[in-house]
Homo-oligomer: A and B are copies of this chain.
Amino acid sequence: MTRATSSIKTYNQECADCPIRHRAVCARCESDELEQLEQIKYYRSFEAGQTVVWAGDSMDFVASVVTGIATLSQTMEDGRRQMVGLLLPSDFIGRPGRGTSAYDVTAATDTVMCCFRKKPFEDMMLRTPHIGQRLLEMTLDELDAAREWMLLLGRKTAREKISSLLTIIARRDASLQLNMADGELSFDLPLTREAMSEYLGLTLETVSRQMSSLRKEGLIVTEGKRHITIPDFDRLLEETGDDSDGGFLV
């Protein structure tokens, strides 16, 4: 059980009791000059399912997720949708230097965001190289995640995709550390079957079938529709197709 435990621990290492993890560009975990951010920040809440901005809409702010989960998606003319970003607490939204959103941003669960108006934020970036550096680091992390995701989309089977998604959520969701005991862990799935299918490049029927199949084989235990227990994290990891020491570089 050791790897499961350790690989989860490594992710969320600083600011244990602060809702904004250490990678966030947010005043809470900062000190120094960054208190200036305090003056330009404000909070917004969204309900599960609500759209924050549509692709192409103008967006005059950047933001950091405080609680809840948001997604970035692209839609083709005929309605096919692909999720391209999954934003957990501390993740950053928006691109300095661009006035419109390139993606649909949607709240997957009830969500609170810490927003900064774009112009003052960009001014701050110029004055405070520190922020740019953090942003670079975060963007590089996101790029790595996107590339991992590309491997999933391009080459993994449906079963591997589902297993991967479950381990990804397990690793990234800070809340579930509490429920953890010798390799068993449980959490509430923050995504509907449909959202999962958009993440994975599958249909929701296939997602449902594969979840059932993992359940029947005892790799996961479900309680209601959303609550999931993983009795043996390592066993699930073996289903992901990743090499055992997987590129968990963040």
Q: Does A214 contact B (CB under 8 A)?
A: no
Bound-state CA distance A227–B146 (Å) is 32
Given contacts A129-B129, A129-B132, A137-B97, A147 and B103 within 8 Å (CB-CB): yes
Q: Across the interface, which residues of B come within 8 angstroms of A19, CB to CB?
A: none
Bound-state CA distance A241–B200 (Å) is 19
**A55 — nearest CB in chain B belongs to which residue?**
B247
Q: Does A27 contact B (CB under 8 A)?
A: no
Task: Tell me the residues in window 28-82 of chain A with beta carbons closer than 8 Å to chain B beta carbons.
Answer: 55, 72, 74, 76-78, 80-82
Which of A76, A85, A136, A249 has the most chain B CB within a 10 Å cutoff?
A136
The copy count of this chain in the complex is 2
Bound-state CA distance A135–B139 (Å) is 10
Contact partner of A147 (CB less than 8 A), chosen from B132, B140, B146, is B146
Q: For residue A201, give the distance in angstroms from its CB to the closest CB of chain B.
A: 3
Contact B151 A84 (CB under 8 A): yes
Q: For residue A62, give the distance in angstroms from its CB to the closest CB of chain B.
A: 12
Contact B132 A102 (CB under 8 A): no
Contact partner of A249 (CB less than 8 A), chosen from B81, B96, B102, B147, is B102
**A198 — nearest CB in chain B belongs to which residue?**
B154
Bound-state CA distance A72–B148 (Å) is 12
Contact B201 A153 (CB under 8 A): yes
**A154 — nearest CB in chain B belongs to which residue?**
B201
Q: A80-B241, A84-B150, A150-B153 are in contact. List 8 more A-B contacts (CB 8 A).
A: A74-B147, A74-B150, A76-B242, A77-B243, A80-B155, A81-B155, A103-B147, A139-B140
Q: Which 10 A-B pairs have the closest CB atoms?
A: A154-B201, A153-B153, A84-B147, A146-B146, A82-B154, A129-B129, A82-B151, A153-B154, A80-B155, A136-B136
28 A/B residue pairs, CB under 8 Å, sorted by A: A74-B150, A76-B151, A76-B155, A77-B243, A80-B241, A82-B150, A82-B154, A82-B155, A84-B147, A85-B147, A96-B136, A102-B144, A102-B247, A102-B249, A103-B147, A132-B132, A135-B136, A136-B139, A139-B139, A139-B140, A142-B143, A143-B143, A143-B146, A146-B146, A149-B150, A150-B153, A153-B154, A155-B201
